[in-house]
Structure formats: structure tokens, C-alpha cells
Structure 1
Amino acid sequence: MEKLTAIIPVFNEQDTIERAIVSVLFADEILIVDSFSTDLTLSIAEKYDVKIIQRDYEYSASQKNWAIPQASNNWILILDADEVIGSSLREEIQSILNKKSTKTGYWIYRNNHFMNQAIKYSGWQNDKVVRLFQRDLCRYEDKRVHAEIITSGDLGFLNSKIDHFTYKSLRQYVEKLNRYAALQAIDYDKITDKITAYHLLLKPLWRFLKHFIIQKGYKDGVAGTVICFLQAYAVVMRYANLYLLRKKN
């Protein structure tokens, strides 16, 4: 069987880190990539057989690309602290490691939970990420938000899903959106012309309607409506941050 390193990037994740670690105890190595947490995250992690490495946080792709070469094993499984590998996904991953796979990595779909509810629509129904891949053949693209894996090989798909518990509190989620919007502004500066009402009004409106009507967010009730509104809010904040960035420069 091929050996596996699980990588978990963290910063102040005391509420979720133990659940994430326990779900990947089947890995041969667990690498905790910490951005100098100030809560009990590391104390909790140290109860388990993990290796902890630390680095100041720039953005997600940069952090992961720094950590990947430090893994001892060829196969990498990346898990965020608010995610969990269930038994069916664990067994599927182990079956991949048991055979000589011709794929350089695998897409894994996610079961997303928000406001204590499983979200089945709202644009999240097809959410997928490349999280299982070969260390020397894959890296994240250099984007500050929503970077994906770059590889010259073929990617496969797994049938089982990652459980993603993205919601701690509404305040925490909005803070996350604001943080992402500020980072996205840097990426969008290269591809966006002059900011107009199209960016600040029409694009957010389209984002809400897309998630709420086309992707059936209304079927997720109050939680779905909040998600759709926040997706539109994120678009406004992205371009507001871009406007401020250009003004500053």
C-alpha cells in the first residue's frame, strides 16, 4: 500500500481541530500547518501523533504549497480544520492507495453544512475540490482565493464526499467573506477594468438570482436565502476592496 500524509492547515481552530485529526488517523503521517495559533489548537493537536510546522499566513495556496514538499509520503490528503473524512471516504481513499493509480489526483465532492443544516442547493450542490493527490506532481495555482490544483496528469473523481462544517457563527462567516474579498481584490486587479455600477450592482444582483433561483437556493429555506444574500455581498465587497486598493496605490 502507498503511504499517505494528511495535511491540515490551521489557525485558532480549537473548536474543530480534534474532529478533523481523528478523521484522518488512518494516514501514515499527519502534518499540522499552523499560522501561530493563540488558542488551544496546538495543545489539542499534540494529544495525537502529529508533526507541527509553523509559518506566518500569507494566503491559502501559498501556505499549502509551502507545506506539500515537507510531507514524507508520495500521496497527500489535504483537509481543512472544519472538514471531516467519513468512513466511506476513508475506505475509498485506502482502496486508491492499495492499487497503482494512474491518476495524479482526485476530485472529492463536499457535503456542506451551514447554520446547523445540510445545504443541498444554493449553488453548493456541486462543490468539489482536489484534495487527494501525488506530492511531486501537483501544486496549487498562485491565487489568493479559491486556488485549485495544477497538474500535468489526469484527475479522477471519488464517489464519497468530505463533510464540510463551514458555519461556526454568522459573524465568523461574514468575517471570512470579508477576508476573502480583500484577498480576491489583489487577484482581480489584473483582470478588471474600471469599476462601475455593473460591478457593484448588476454582478451582485445576478449572483443572488443565480444562487437563489437557478441553483434553487430557495429550497434550502432561511439558510439558503442567507447563503444567496451573502454570495451577493461577497461580490460587492470584492470590488469595494479593489476600489480602495487602487485608490491607495
Structure 2
Amino acid sequence: MAELSAPKQKLSALIITYNEMGYIEKCIESVSFADEILVVDSYSTDGTFEYLQNHPKVRVLQNPFENFTAQKSFTLKQASNDWILFVDADEIVTDELQAEIISTINDQKACEAYWFYRKFMFKNEPLHFSGWQTDKNHRLFRKSKAKFTDKKIVHETLEVDGNSCILKEKLVHYCYKNYEDYKGKMLKYGQLKAKEAFYKEKQFNYFLMVFKPLWKFFNHYVLRLGFLDGKKGMIVSYLNALGVLERYRELKRLEKKNELAYYLVMP
């Protein structure tokens, strides 16, 4: 008897959004090969939600943003299929990566999850260094074998019950749209990292507030060869360091707020 071929695996592409017009269109187009495209929007004000509502291939929901881990966990629960492709709204799946994803999920020997390396774009020019050359994230995985840990609220981390492998093709990430956008993103990340540290009862330290941002800049610009990216490397390394500084500023604010609340409730 002829051996029966395994059924084609279905894929859900998941995205979280907030004010992503100008980028979400290309992202949606690049994942249109998925059997389901699900977007969870945190109440965009720039027309993103309305665009998604009118897109024939997209199922869109709205959910208040608490933090990245909570939003992605909520999104994951809404997915219809076991195989999940999680992308950011400013990321693009190339034709080559698409072919590798389809081949991978239909391989009976597939791992439970896959790391993606990313190609970082400064506007429309690639960043070759500046600390990003070894960056990788879990983006393709089985819903039944993975979940986002609740120990982190930013730079969300996937816990996988099984093996993780690495795909060869890279995901294209338009990380730097303009100066103010990237600065705002780094400050927001810094504030969320401060909340994460505060929940873990880590204490503010003046020395670390000075040392850590300087080290971040030196590490990205010098040790991770950011200077080879020219002016782009200088800007990105500076704003990454600014995000670290904001983490300690916010941690200090949270501690003062907590102390004030304590004294107000004392008899």
C-alpha cells in the first residue's frame, strides 16, 4: 500500500499593533500566505484599526495594552491553528523566508519552535553591526508546546516544551523609522524594564544609573562594531543607552512613589 502523506499544516500569523500605518500594510502583505492573519490592536489613533477592519484577509481585535508579554499572551490564546508565526508590525517576511517557513512546518521532523535572526533596517538602509548582528527571537512555534513567561513584561520570552532550532533566512525589521519614533520606543522599553525590576524588588542605584548607560553605548558602538555603521551606528547606540538611563530614572520614580504611598497609609 502507498504511504499516506501527512496533511498540510495550517499556520496562524499573529501581530500586535499600535499606530502602525505606513508599516502594517507591507507586513500584512508579507504574511498573506498564512491560513489566518490575526491582529490585536491596542486602540490605535492613526487609522491602523480601521485599515485592518477593512482588510479581507485579516481578523482584528482590540485589547488594552498592559505590557508586551500580556498582549502577546492574549493574542496567542485567540489563534485558531497550532503553528504560530509571530511578527511585529514593522517586520517583513521575505519570499525566501516564506518558503522556508512553509517547508519547515510541513516537515514531520520539525522542532517545536524556531529562532529567527533579523536584518535590521535604519529607515531603508541596513544596519550591519551596532549590537544587532547576533540578535535572534522565537517567532515560529507550536501553540500547544509554548507559552510566554510571565517573568518578563518587555523583550517577552517564550518557554518551549521541546526543541528549538534556527531558520536560515532572516526576518527584515524596520526598527528605525525616524529619530523621535525610535527615541520614544527606547524610553517606553526603559520604563517597562523598570517596572519589571521593581516587581522583582531590585533597588535603584546611582552608580548603576551612570555606569550601565555608558557601558551600553560602549558595548554597542565599540565592542559590537557600531562605529562601522557610521552615523547610523552612533544614533542607535546613543538611543539604546538612553533607554537604559530611562530604566533607572523610572525605577527611582517608582521607589519614591511607593515610599510616599507607604507614609500616607501609616497610622
Specify the TM-score bucket, using the shorter chain as the normaliser: over 0.9
Match of residue 205, structure 2, among 195, 209, 223: 195
Question: Displacement of 1:191 after TM fit?
Answer: 5.4
CA distance in 2, matches of 1:94, 1:49: 18
Within 5 Å, which residues of 2 pair with 1:1-249? 1-45=8-52, 46-142=54-150, 143-189=152-198, 190=200, 192-197=202-207, 199-249=208-258
Q: Contact 1:117 / 1:223 at 8 angstroms: preserved in 2?
A: no
SS in 1 for 2:147: strand
Q: How many residues align?
A: 248
Give per-residue Cα distances to partners, 1:135-190, cap 9 Å, x unaligned: 11111122111111111211010000100001221011111111111111011122
CA distance in 1, matches of 2:138, 2:201: 25
CA distance in 1, matches of 2:108, 2:224: 38
Question: Displacement of 1:102 after TM fit?
Answer: 4.1
Question: Displacement of 1:44 after TM fit?
Answer: 2.4
Question: Displacement of 1:60 after TM fit?
Answer: 1.0
TM-score of the pair, normalised by structure 2: 0.89
Q: Contact 2:194 / 2:247 at 8 angstroms: preserved in 1?
A: yes
What is the identity, as a one-letter code, of the residue corresponding to 2:70? S
What is the identity, as a one-letter code, of the residue corresponding to 1:92? E
RMSD of aligned residue pairs (Cα, Å): 1.3
Give per-residue Cα distances to partners, 1:115-145, cap 9 Å, x unaligned: 4321011101111110000011111122111
Question: Displacement of 1:194 after TM fit?
Answer: 4.1
User: Which runs of 5 or more residues in structure 1 are unaligned?
Assistant: none
User: Which runs of 5 or more residues in structure 2 are unaligned?
Assistant: 1-7, 259-267
What is the identity, as a one-letter code, of the residue corresponding to 2:164? L
What is the identity, as a one-letter code, of the residue corresponding to 1:207? K
CA distance in 1, matches of 2:32, 2:45: 24
Q: Contact 2:123 / 2:174 at 8 angstroms: preserved in 1?
A: no
SS in 1 for 2:144: coil
CA distance in 2, matches of 1:155, 1:86: 21
Identical positions, percent: 39
TM-score of the pair, normalised by structure 1: 0.96
| Gap change, CA 1:194 and 1:19, over 3 Å in 2 | closer
Q: Radius of gyration: which is bigger?
A: 2
Question: Displacement of 1:193 after TM fit?
Answer: 3.3
Q: Contact 1:17 / 1:44 at 8 angstroms: preserved in 2?
A: no
> Could you tell me which residue of structure 1 aligns to residue 3 of structure 2?
none
